[in-house]
Amino acid sequence: MKRLVAFAVMWVLIVGLVMGVTIKFWTAPNPLQEEFWKPLVEEWNAKHPDIQIEWRTIPAARSSEEAILTAIAAGEGPDICTNIFSGFAAQLAEQDQLVDFAKEFGVDFWILVGARRMENIVEGWKLGDHYYVIPIYANPMVLRRRQDKLQELGFNRPPRTYGEIYELAKKYANPPERFAMIVLKGRNWWDRWFDFISFYYAASGGKPYIDTAAGKAVFNNEYGKKVAEFIYTMFKNKWTTSDWGKVFPLANGKALGSLMGPWSLNWAKENYPEVYNNLWISPLPVPDDYPEGKPVKTFADTKGLVMFKSCKYKEEAFEFIKWVFMNPVNDARWIEITKMPPARGDLATNPLFAKYMEEDPYFAAYAREVGNAVPPALITNTIDVQEAMTTFLTEPLMYLKATPDEALEKAVKEINKLLW
């Protein structure tokens, strides 16, 4: 028997080598996503000895984008790659590096879109008339809070407005040991998605922060002002801080709430079960005059899959993509492992996913917000724009170096220079 298995493995390898169809496939460097992809790739490779997938995670670097770019420059880039955010896809498309799925695969692409009920979702990723990205997941940002501690403080529901958060802060904050919540995430350019842009979407009902058609920033409006005022007030009163140390602040009670995506749910479950069992998941805080009952919009951290033009075996690569994404069982497994809502239009209606919606209240809370989640502005210089947002808006507010109005005006002016 052993000999037979060895022979079969050898045969598969030899056929694979002789036929020579190898597709380099990179996925996010995230243990949970690795757990999802590993058996799938193994299954495909065993079933398709003539089309072998050479799978690896995106090499370690400060960001996936850097790793991918360096690899492309060295001629070692992937054929297909996941974990691509819209701005990076726009950058790569501008350089004519990506395959337009609709143009290359025509009907086959639309069959895939139809099978996942992604008709509306792909429209959000459209660049001009091109479909360069197959959306994989959409993570809505929500506010996670310590239910037990809030109840001890007399809150029987999560604070909804800025005013209620100020109330909570007055009762709880005692710097440098305790703060109300994490307001700003850090100084990486991508952190702005998870603080200012998320807050802005919530306050404005999902209005754009950049007018992409006119090529200018528009967040110096009444909504942007309210958000900037909120951030400033929290830092001015020392109800939040910029330095949270190395321990998860929700675990040691240093903060009672934080904006978080679903990707860290399973991580929290494993590392901080006492926090995981005491979570309140709620929409983002809104200005005091925001109507109660009106849906609160939030930021969608969406990632997708792209195919590079350098891919020699496009048809074969697309076969693999279809094999993975046409099968909803894989989506169910994805939810189970990663807790991230897959980019499907039938999450709430497909009976295959009902189990997760019923059994896991946290996943359900995230899945419910998918409809309220707005993707980022589709621009090619996302990094520069958000770096300017950090330098001229969030950091001056954090260090009380400018008033909210001054910071907003300066940030918009600087970003407009970049967009012009």
Partner 1 sequence: MITRRRLKLRETLLGWQFSGIYLLYAAIFWGYPFVWMLILAFSKWNYFGSPRFIGFRNFTHMMQDSIFWRVFLNTMNFMAYFIPMVITAAFLFALALMKVRIFRTFFTLSFLVAYVSSGVGYSILFSNLFSETGPVNNLIYKFTGKTIPWFSDPQLALFSIALMVTWKFVGYYGLILFAGLQAIPKSLYEAAELDGANNWVKFWKITLPLVNPALTTVLVFAINLTFGIFTEPYMITGGGPMRRTLTFMMYMYTTAFQRMKPSYASTLAIATGLMSYGLVVLVRKLIEREVSLT
CB of 275 to partner 1, least distance (A): 18
CB of 416 to partner 1, least distance (A): 14
Q: Which is nearer to partner 1, 77 or 140 (CB)?
A: 77
Q: Which is nearer to partner 1, 95 or 277 (CB)?
A: 95
The torsion region of residue 83 among left (phi > 0), alpha (psi -120 to 50) and beta comes to: left
Distance between start and end Cα atoms, the chain: 68
Q: Which is nearer to partner 1, 70 or 271 (CB)?
A: 70
CB of 253 to partner 1, least distance (A): 13
* Cβ–Cβ < 8 Å for 78, 308: yes
CB of 96 to partner 1, least distance (A): 7
CB of 25 to partner 1, least distance (A): 21
CB of 10 to partner 1, least distance (A): 39
Distance CA 373, CA 409 (A): 26
Q: Which is nearer to partner 1, 65 or 100 (CB)?
A: 65
Q: Which is nearer to partner 1, 202 or 393 (CB)?
A: 393
Distance CA 130, CA 407 (A): 36
H helix intervals, 48-85? 64-73
Q: Which is nearer to partner 1, 65 or 195 (CB)?
A: 65
CB of 168 to partner 1, least distance (A): 21
CB of 383 to partner 1, least distance (A): 5
Q: Which two tokens stand for residue 321?
A: 């993509």
Q: Which is nearer to partner 1, 95 or 327 (CB)?
A: 95
- Displacement of CA 183 from its chain's centroid (Å): 18
Which run of H or of E encompasses 178?
none
Q: Which two tokens stand for residue 380?
A: 């090619």
* Cβ–Cβ < 8 Å for 206, 297: yes
Distance CA 124, CA 118 (A): 10
Q: Which is nearer to partner 1, 330 or 391 (CB)?
A: 391
Q: Which two tokens stand for residue 139?
A: 């993570």
Asked, as a colleague might, if the bond just before 176 is cis with ω within 30 of 0, I would say yes
Burial of 246 (0-12, 13-18, 19+ CB in 10 A): exposed
CA dihedral sign, ordered 391, 394, 398, 402:
positive
Distance CA 318, CA 418 (A): 36
Please report, as ranges, the residues that interact with partner 1 according to CB under 8 A. Answer: 63, 65-66, 69-70, 72-73, 91, 95-97, 176, 186-189, 241-246, 254, 381, 383-384, 390-391, 395-396, 398-399, 401
